[in-house]
Structure 1
């Protein structure tokens, strides 16, 4: 077997016209576009093992996505000086590979990650979202109270069973540790929720945002979102916020590359499926 090398790719994309990250035979996906482009440059089948930190849903964006892949060492040595620019010329405008970095073979974009950080953007302006920002900002029809949003958020920080906010998968835990959850209002009036955790189960971030927004506009008490943590099944009362307001902005990894394998082993023991 040819010697192979592992690369880390830092990726950004506008998720509007993608059916999510994962390859689907009849749909346009981020992974599908990346593989097709790399095949054009390196030859069909050269790239194997494409693995992503967080498999974003259809319509979700990313400015800090991370994935890894393996390719023949000879191909990398031949193309590495110009591969990034060649890929940039061939990729469509709604996805960019910002960096390609050689990493140890035990680096795992998914399981070596220590955190994922998302931002969700909302405007409560009476005229809605500005036309140039309509793809990444949710227009909310009711005024939102920043203080109420942050009180609701504070009750969700920590390690909890987020079953009420997750689409449960067989043999998968819904226990997660949220290390950061807060809201700010930027100078342009846009409200931004920052959510960080070791990992997220499917639809969890948008479900949390949906619950907090109903507290922020006064339709629910500020303690209602945290009160749902006592439930062990998904709550039908929680409305999942639309995908287009959500952006994956960062994925963290151990500072010491020697810790990649240890972190990956620990994560696999904690949970099998990890969805973001």
Structure 2
């Protein structure tokens, strides 16, 4: 059967999802996408749904990317209306924003060059604005932006982030962070931007949790970087709540480099 690979750009409000990955008896983002496609093309059609990065329960996305393989015949029938049809069958807290044919060398997970997240924190004494309560953490201590950025600077680069990760058997905790900084938006909310080639489970939320204790004055700016010498998860690191975190972008090389990038990513870091 001839198939065509499609890149899906996806957004979702993670509040009512048990994360990305399909799980029996639980509502997940992958689950509702698979159900939506089943209604349009038949439940018996294998999709090979592959995502750039699995998000945990409660985490949101405005820039998630995944791919599916559709029978070429069905794509021919649906090409002009698939986006609109998906909008009709998906729940309001999950949206497919674009559907793009890509070469079969494209792999949403392994061809990616970076994932970028943002974490929103309000240190206003009254807490987050009600309309942003689902994507903004309330922090009851005032935060100092200079201290936050000083802590962030010590975490840049390639390191073993074991102190900030939930370790998985036979998986490396070495990662390369190429962007980590804080800003304060006009609404007063502090926003951390973190970008890396990939992340361990709970790594971003752990980094944010560590930096927040620096920003409010309870820890020294050097403390998060000092934890990089550890080879096990640190019990002193607070994991920030899931709802403040949003996956905002996934980067990819030129399409001529999809296969090479995927091959390089599959090699385990030493």
- In the superposition, the TM-score normalised over structure 1's length comes to 0.97
Counterpart in the other structure of 2:95: 96
- Pairs within 5 Å for 1:184-263: 184-254=183-253, 256-263=254-261
- Pairs within 5 Å for 1:65-84: 65-84=64-83
Q: Secondary structure at the match of 1:54?
A: coil
Question: Are positions 1:267 and 2:253 aligned together?
Answer: no
- Pairs within 5 Å for 1:13-32: 13-32=12-31
Tell me, in whole angstroms, the C-alpha distance in 2 between the residues paired with 1:87 and 1:45: 18
Tell me, in whole angstroms, the C-alpha distance in 1 between the residues paired with 2:58 and 2:14: 4
**Cα contact 1:186–1:192 (8 A) shared by 2:** yes
Counterpart in the other structure of 1:135: 134
**Cα contact 1:38–1:47 (8 A) shared by 2:** no
Tell me, in whole angstroms, the C-alpha distance in 2 between the residues paired with 1:19 and 1:230: 33
Question: Are positions 1:147 and 2:146 aligned together?
Answer: yes
Runs of 4 or more above 2 Å deviation: none
Shift of 1:155: 0.3
Matched residues, number? 270
Structure 2 unmatched ranges of 5 or more:
none
Q: Secondary structure at the match of 1:179?
A: strand
Structure 1 unmatched ranges of 5 or more:
none
RMSD in angstroms over aligned alpha carbons?
Answer: 1.0
Q: Secondary structure at the match of 2:48?
A: strand
- In the superposition, the TM-score normalised over structure 2's length comes to 0.99
**Cα contact 2:47–2:69 (8 A) shared by 1:** yes
Shift of 1:45: 2.4
**Cα contact 2:174–2:269 (8 A) shared by 1:** no
**Cα contact 1:174–1:201 (8 A) shared by 2:** yes
Tell me, in whole angstroms, the C-alpha distance in 2 between the residues paired with 1:174 and 1:49: 27
Q: Secondary structure at the match of 1:152?
A: helix
Tell me, in whole angstroms, the C-alpha distance in 2 between the residues paired with 1:228 and 1:265: 32
CA gap 1:271/1:85 in 2 versus in 1, 3 angstroms: farther
